[in-house]
A and B are shown apart, each in its own frame.
Chain A
Amino acid sequence: MTADPERIEQLKADLAHLRVDDPSASADRLATRGGLLAMAVGLAVTVVAYAMSHGTTDALAQRDALVLAVIGLALAVVGGALYLKGSLSGFLRFWLVRDLHERRAQTDRLLGALGGGDHRPEGELP
């Protein structure tokens, strides 16, 4: 085994400048967080629109408030859909992985019983 300390130091320096994206920023997580934010903002806009409409007798301002309220509602609905998509796909993925794990463990147990060998599934105590 021969290490090259000079090359390793250079590698460390290069890696220190390397941009590493946050692996937690997956599409599902982004959808869940973005959806929650859109829902909250949408509802807040609707409440503000109600206050605007209630606080004036000017018909033009009330129409503006109506449009604002519709925009707020649309934002909340889209946010809700995004949140549902993100959380559902996360849950289904987890469920599928769990199902795969169960099946594999069952196969291991079956093989162990057939062969008499130690085919204990990973994580199972003796």
Chain B
Amino acid sequence: MTPLLSLRGVRAAYGSIEVLHGIDLDVPPGSVVAVLGPNGAGKSTLLNVIAGLHPPSAGSVVLAGHPIVGARPDGLARAGMCLVPEGRGIFPNLTVGEHLRMATHSGRRLADIEAETFERFPRLAERRQQLAGTMSGGEQQMLALARGLAARPAVLLLDELSMGLAPIIVEELYGQVAAIAASGVSIVVVEQFAHAVLGVAGLAAVLVQGRIGALGAPAEIESLLSTAYLGAVAPVPADRPPGAPVP
């Protein structure tokens, strides 16, 4: 199947320090791809490059057959690329209802957005008039997800969904992620803590020091994780096609 999102030889740097050293990754339509890796591996930078927030220094990013390197992030967001950033990025002094009203910029009716959101996250319906900053971490993450989904994304980029949340909440959230993927949205999830996301992912990649250290089915990757995090997984050879099984 032709990938919806394709990265080839993507390099990115902060000033003169390069943090991504040639990333090749394919995201098939309607699938969940998990990008795992230790702190500082370049996971968030990778998402920022895909979302157009950080310009790559080399390589190509192709979305639905169109090269998007150099495109403005707001244009990409309007087209259907949605990033849920680390730390949720919600407005603490706005209510849940106001957040959803903001999402009507995409042209959808508020009633439709609310109906879809409250069906997916019934807990947000109870919190409709509550300030987002006073909600629990899990509810804030649900709101961040709901706001992203309100724009009807084609590609959803999730950065550290589980950060600071209890395992049971993380499990619930990843249940929703699986449901979102089942509705046809392609999802790239970046996670430091792997177990929750591996259950819903179709493909997993381990990013180590800015390179793909391992790529394959989640079950294969899970057994490699501890060694990968400790730096003992060699980078994938350049001639190995993306998605090929782990040697």
B53 nearest CB across to chain A (Å): 14
A-B contact pairs, 12 of them (CB 8 A): A1-B30, A1-B181, A1-B202, A3-B28, A12-B64, A15-B65, A15-B79, A18-B76, A19-B75, A21-B71, A93-B16, A122-B235
The range of chain A's interface size is: 20 to 34
Q: Are B67 and A2 in contact (CB under 8 A)?
A: no
State the B residues within 8 Å of A (CB). Answer: 1, 4, 13, 16-18, 21, 28-31, 55-56, 63-72, 75-76, 78-80, 152, 154, 181-185, 202, 209, 211, 232, 234-235, 238
- Chain A nearest CB: distance from B100 CB in Å? 21
Report yes or no: A2 in contact with B70, Cβ–Cβ below 8 A. no
Q: List residues of chain A with CB within 8 A of the CB of B209.
A: 104
Chain A nearest CB from B242 CB (Å) reads 16
* Residues of A contacting B63 in the complex (Cβ-Cβ under 8 angstroms): 11, 15
Among A35-43, A45-53, A66-74, A112-120, which stretch is in contact with chain B?
Answer: A112-120
Contact B16 A7 (CB under 8 A): no
Tell me the complex Cα distance, A8–B55, Å: 24
Known: A15-B66, A23-B55, A92-B16. 10 other contacts (CB 8 A): A1-B29, A4-B183, A4-B185, A12-B66, A15-B68, A18-B68, A20-B66, A20-B67, A23-B56, A122-B235
Closest Cβ–Cβ distance, residue A15 to chain B (whole Å): 4
Chain B: interface secondary structure?
Answer: loop
- Produce 1/0 per residue, A103-126, CB < 8 A to B: 010000000000001111011000
B55 surroundings in chain A (CB, below 8 A): 23
A residues in contact (CB < 8 Å) with B: 1-4, 7-8, 10-12, 14-16, 18-23, 92-93, 96-97, 100, 104, 117-120, 122-123
